[in-house]
């Protein structure tokens, strides 16, 4: 089972291409896994790291499920996938979560690696508003994940480098999962079975 890695550098076996996948993962669903798989294949990533956020600075009025629950569901979903890892540093830092802090840590620890940061295509235009945007643009290349209603031609705002992920399209969203749980509708085809069972047992989204 993948666990939150201790960020330790071992030059002889350090990854050279690392994908960073941030988000609330509230909860993680099959769409997230398909996106990660597509990114790993298209970008030839040695590792892709899921980084659950404590709180998005762009959603101050939105409160995700408890960090412990979201982290536990990620561990269940990624079990048996050694190249998919979890880093809980943003949860440990507390809210709000700023991408630049995480990217700087990876850039310092793996100075020879190329960093790719996955982002929803609908957020690309907002990148210049992110904290320390100029530094962020220098440290990582962004990978835009197309979403329903958003085309693939979103221009990259200077000085950001943005490429489009052309992999497996999906319309699954965490909001859709939460709504189905509250409506007492099945979610077993939307999330990994172990995650569906845990959500049902813990009543995470019904309270």
Report residue 152's pLDDT band, with 50, 70 and 90 as the boundaries.
low
pLDDT at 9: 54
Task: Name the CATH superfamily, with its identifier, for domain 17-169.
Answer: HUPs (3.40.50.620)
pLDDT per residue as tens digits for the range 83-112: 999 999 999 998 788 999 999 999 999 999
Question: Which candidate, 143, 120, 167, 138, places its Cα nearest to that of 18?
Answer: 143
Contact between 27 and 76 under an 8 Å Cβ cutoff? The reply is no
Integer Cα distance of 134 and 129 in angstroms: 10
Percentage of the chain surpassing pLDDT 90? 71
| Helical (H) or strand (E) element with 69 | helix 67-78
Strands of the sheet with 84-86, listed across from one edge? 84-86, 47-52, 17-23, 114-120, 141-145, 162-164
pLDDT of residue 68: 95
Q: State the sign of the Cα–Cα–Cα–Cα dihedral 64, 31, 163, 115.
A: positive
The pLDDT tens digits of the residues spanning 162-188 come to: 999 987 666 788 999 999 999 999 998
| Range of lowest pLDDT (6-15, 21-30, 125-134) | 6-15
């Amino acid at each position: 089972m993948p666990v939150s890695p201790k960020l330790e550098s071992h030059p002889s076996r350090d990854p050279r291409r690392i994908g960073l996948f941030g988000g609330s993962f509230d909860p993680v669903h099959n769409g997230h896994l398909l996106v990660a798989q597509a990114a790993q294949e298209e970008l030839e990533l040695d590792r892709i790291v899921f980084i659950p956020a404590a709180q998005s600075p762009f959603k101050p009025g939105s409160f995700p499920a408890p960090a412990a629950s979201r982290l536990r569901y990620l561990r269940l979903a990624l079990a048996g996938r050694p190249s998919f890892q979890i880093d809980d540093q943003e949860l440990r830092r507390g809210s709000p979560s700023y991408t630049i802090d995480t990217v700087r840590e990876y850039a310092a620890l793996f100075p020879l690696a190329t960093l790719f940061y996955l982002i929803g295509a609908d957020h690309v235009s907002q990148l210049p508003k992110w904290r320390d945007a100029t530094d962020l643009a220098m440290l990582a290349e962004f990978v835009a994940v197309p979403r329903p209603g958003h085309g693939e031609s979103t221009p990259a705002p200077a000085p950001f480098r943005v490429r489009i992920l052309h992999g497996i399209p999906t319309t699954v969203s965490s909001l859709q999962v939460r709504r189905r749980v509250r409506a007492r509708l099945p979610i077993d085809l939307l999330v990994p079975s172990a995650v569906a069972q845990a959500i049902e047992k813990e009543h995470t989204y019904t309270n």
